[in-house]
Amino acid sequence: MFLTLLSHQAKASRRSSVFQKSLVLNIIMVLLILYFGGIFLLLGFTLHKILAELFPGQSPVVLFNGALLFYFLLDLFFRFLLQELPVLAVQPYLHLPIKKSKLVHFVLVKSLPSMFNLIMLLVFVPFMISAVIPAYGIGAALAWLFALIALTFFNNFLLIYFKRQLSSNSKLTLLFGLVVIGLFIIDYFDVFSLRAVSVAVFGAVLAQPWLLVAPVLLLVGAYWLNYQFLKAHTYPEELAVRETKRVEGKDIAFLNRFGEIGKLIELELKLIWRHKRSKSVLTISVLFLFYGFIFYHDEKFLSGFAMLIFVGIAMTGMPMFNYGQFIPSWQSGHFDALLTRRISPYQFYAAKFWIFVPITTLGYVLTLPYGLIDYKIFLINTAAFLFTIGVNVFVVFFFSVYNTSRLDLSKSSAFNWQGVGASKFLMMLPMLLLPLLIFAPFGFMGVPYMGIAAIGLLGLIGFVFQKQLLQWSANRFVAHKYKLATGFRQA
């Protein structure tokens, strides 16, 4: 039965029109997988030598064990952002004499050959052969490897369970992200050493191979949770109800008091929340909040200003840029209808602006704890925040009239390059270089804090004159709206 279901899936994929249209893209994807697979394989065989050179006198296996807990937390985080839930058109099979348990097992086992599960095996297995076996023997090394595989699959099933449970609850999703961020922060400030825990846990498996039973039990538990959940919710009636509920939406009453702009903001928020790509584009920006950990602990970067300005702009402005680079392509599916409504271009851009300001403010507030490292970081991030909401947001609006590529929001978010082009990278240049150019003369004159103040002041002036700048953006939109409409009509 398992092979029969697998053959049905393969035939459905091959006969799909999407597969035929995306044949070239599929070939490119296979080549990329082979390329990166080769890199990971090479990394696995040479990692012990790299670690020995970087950390002389320390065991490469112990160093590797110390990073494993961080890896599994990041793995879970990235899975939350990128991994798709395994799906099967179950409804046609529910009317056939097939046990429901077989269908549920098929859906769960089908999730195992994912990129996240396979790529790391290309690192774990070669590292075990080249470093762990020579140091600990083949028995302990195999137990260590099976423990890592069990934890990888545990992450896989834990993510599936979380996503099915939390997909409709944004507060719990946010809480999960904050817990992961919190664990990294307490380790960074030496409040609690995750590295020491990681070394102890995976070193114990090497010393006592029978401890392999612990990750195996975790894996079995996560699989059992998914199995029970899917079995309890796989009924034709429930599937029908779920499909009906999916198109419903709750009004955000608070926004009604802002008139047409409030309604546009509400529609935009619903668009973001209901589509995987728009949601993942924003959530992946959370990663840039960790950008500071790369630079702020290094005295070489901390003593200067240019790199800190770059980091400040990236951390506070990346959510706005990631989402704003596709304006107005997010509305490409209903752009003609948008033009016929009584919505002015000014209102269209004002709604975008008042979405970006709170998001950027939230990003800025989350970067404030970096100010504990050095007050200079606080000053630079404040200037970067003002520059983002006063200048960079209008740079995004300026380039938005050149976004004539249609976005199909029904497609998945992972490895989806629709709408991505060289123009997006050109857009980043003024956003990143302009604050550095403003700062440069003050830096050469030896008054760097005046340069920081100039960046912030320019951003503040832009924010004060937002209405004039929004009208300027709207006028450009009017001049290019027919080119945009023509581009969006092309599939």
pLDDT over threshold 70, residue 280: yes
**What's the pLDDT at 68?**
87
Q: Please determine, for residue 28, whether its predicted confidence score (pLDDT) is greater than 70.
A: no
Least confident of 108-112, 174-178, 329-333: 174-178
Q: How confident is the model at residue 249 (pLDDT cuts 50, 70, 90)?
A: very low
C-beta separation of 323 from 281 below 8 A? yes
Domain residue spans in the chain? 1-243, 258-490
- Cβ atoms of residues 395 and 462 within 8 Å: no
Q: What percent of the chain has pLDDT over 70?
A: 79
Rounded CA-CA distance 480/210 in Å is 68
Cβ pair 439, 305 in contact under 8 A: yes
Q: What is the mean pLDDT of residues 150-158?
A: 88
The percent of residues above 90 in pLDDT, for the chain, comes to 4
Question: Which pLDDT belongs to residue 245?
Answer: 44
- Name the band, by pLDDT with cuts 50, 70 and 90, for residue 415: low
Q: Is the confidence at residue 433, as pLDDT, over 80? A: yes
Lowest mean pLDDT among 28-32, 57-61, 251-255, 338-342: 251-255
| pLDDT tens, residue by residue, 317-354 | 888 888 888 888 888 878 887 787 777 888 888 988 98
User: Which pTM does this prediction carry?
Assistant: 0.58
Higher-confidence residue: 88 or 103?
103
Q: Considering only 17-26, 43-52, 443-452, which range has the smallest mean pLDDT?
A: 17-26
Length of the chain equals: 491
Mean pLDDT of the chain: 78
Alpha-carbon separation of residue 54 from 51, 57, 64, 296 (angstroms): 5, 10, 12, 21
Across 36-50, 153-167, 309-323, 344-358, least confident range: 153-167
User: Which DSSP string corresponds to 58-70?
Assistant: S-HHHHHHHHHHH
> How confident is the model over 199-221, as pLDDT tens digits?
888 888 888 888 889 989 998 99
Q: How far is CA 290 from the centre of its chain?
A: 13
In the prediction, which pLDDT does 410 show?
Answer: 67
Band (227; pLDDT cuts 50, 70, 90): confident
Element (H, E) at 153: helix 138-166
- Residues 466-480 have pLDDT tens digits of 888 999 998 998 888
pLDDT in tens, 75-91: 877 777 666 666 555 66
pLDDT-derived band at 92 (thresholds 50, 70, 90) equals: low
Tell me which residue of 437, 353, 360, 340 sits closest to 397, measured CA to CA: 353
* Omega within 30 of 0 (cis) for the link into 236: no
**Better-scored residue on pLDDT, 445 or 105:** 445
Confidence tier at 34 by pLDDT (50, 70, 90): confident
Q: What phi, psi does 185 have (nearest 5°)?
A: -65, -45
Q: Identify the pLDDT of residue 454.
A: 92
